[in-house]
Amino acid sequence: MTMEKSDQPRPPQFQRFTRLERTLHALMIVSFIALAVTGMTLKFSYTSWAAFISRRLGGFESAGFIHRAAASLMFGVFVAHLVDLNRKRREQYSGSWARLLLGHDTMLFNRRDLRELVASLKWFVGVGPRPRYGRWTYWEKFDYFAVFWGIFVIGATGLMLWFPELFTRVLPGWLINVASIIHSDEALLATGFIFTVHFFNTHLRPEKFPMDIVVFTGRMPVAEFKRDKPAEYEQLVAEGRLDDHMVEAYQPVVIRTIRAFAWTALGIGSFMVLWIVYAMVFAYR
């Protein structure tokens, strides 16, 4: 928020995400929105909005192509992430999966998350201080695994719908119907969750409003870092490793570009929430 002051020397910032992680998240946004928009045209085909968007996209066949291309992209993102995890394991955790998965910065839920969840709820209702969150909060971990789950469930059923002739060589035909229900409802869940809960938790939540661009820039002011993740900050300071993570802030033009992209994604997401509410509440049949 203070980044626009171009005439000032920019103070170094804390690096939270690597270049690859940022790229993958950006690609994830693109593919997710593409999948959601094209998929929803079918799910809510009874609304005039759906027909309008389908036409804009060049018809159901072209929308279908976009959907499948975006799905492939998302698979690619997923695979790239797994490869990156593997690299991380080798480079940072001396080749041990156990250390990666059970270590301090793990993405897996652990006892500490449970404690933080309880402490958070207490804080929410005013009977305790704000928990001193570490590198990954429990809601961030939830979002992370929601994607895993989503890619597995939506991806698997999506493949069945993509290649029904192949799958029905083995599976009964009615499983395709089951697959469509799962695919469609899980997608609705994912879309709805990302565009409301995730948007709020990371962007729209008042202290971050209107958005937190750390996932795009990969870096954040130290003060903000200190406030958001005090446990991690303190540990880094204690270990004297904070300076290892300090990088130069981006040029304002980069920030502006990133914001434009983020605004677009946020806008589309919000629009889709409205569309879903309209379709499910007012136009449902």
Partner 1 sequence: MSRGMLAFVVVGLGLAAVGSAQENADCLACHGEKDFTTERNGRTVSLYVSEKSFGASVHAELACVSCHADLEGKELPHEAPLQKVDCGTCHETEKAQHAASLHGRALKRGDPLAPTCSSCHGMHDILPVKDPASPVSPLKVPFTCGRCHQEGSAVMRRRTIHQDHILENYSESIHGEGLLRKGLIVAPNCASCHTAHNILPHTDPASSIARANIAKTCTKCHAEIEMVHRKVIRGELWEKEAHVLPACVDCHQPHKIRKVFYTQGMADADCLTCHQEKTLKARDGRPMFVDAAELQGSRHAKIACSQCHSGVNVSKTRPCETITQKVDCGACHTEIAQQYAESQHGKLLARQDPNAPSCKECHGGHGILGRLQSSSPTFAMNIPQLCARCHREGQKAAVRYSGPEHGIIEAYTESIHGKGLLKSGLTVTATCTNCHTAHHELPRTDPASSVNRANVPATCGQCHHGIQEEFEKSIHHTLVGHTDKELPVCNDCHTAHTIRRTDAEGFKLDIMQKCGRCHGAIAKTYFDTYHGKVSQLGYTKTAKCYDCHGAHDILKVTDPRSHLSRQNVVQTCQKCHPGATRRFAGYLTHATHHDPEKYPWLFWTFWGMTGLLVGTFVVGGAHTLLWLPRAMQMRRELREAEAAEERREAADGSEPGEPEKGEASGPKPAEG
Binding residues for partner 1 (CB under 8 A): 41-43, 45-46, 50-51, 54-55, 59-61, 120-121, 123-125, 130, 139, 161, 164-166, 168-174, 176-178, 180-182, 185-186, 188-189, 192-193, 196-197, 200-201, 205-207, 209, 227
Smallest distance from partner 1 to CB 1, Å: 9
Smallest distance from partner 1 to CB 28, Å: 19
The CA distance from 141 to 135, in Å, is 10
Pairing of strands 219-220, 13-15: antiparallel
The token pair that represents 263 in the structure block: 């605004």
Pick the closer one to partner 1 by CB: 93 or 193. Answer: 193
The CA distance from 54 to 66, in Å, is 11
Pick the closer one to partner 1 by CB: 110 or 120. Answer: 120
Burial tier of 197 (Cβ tally within 10 Å: 0-12, 13-18, 19+): middle
Of the candidates 72, 87, 105, the one whose C-alpha atom is nearest the C-alpha of residue 20 is 87
Smallest distance from partner 1 to CB 250, Å: 21
> What does DSSP assign to residue 109?
-
Smallest distance from partner 1 to CB 129, Å: 10
Pick the closer one to partner 1 by CB: 50 or 249. Answer: 50
Q: How many Cα neighbours within 13 Å face the side chain of 211?
A: 20
Pick the closer one to partner 1 by CB: 60 or 109. Answer: 60
Pick the closer one to partner 1 by CB: 51 or 80. Answer: 51
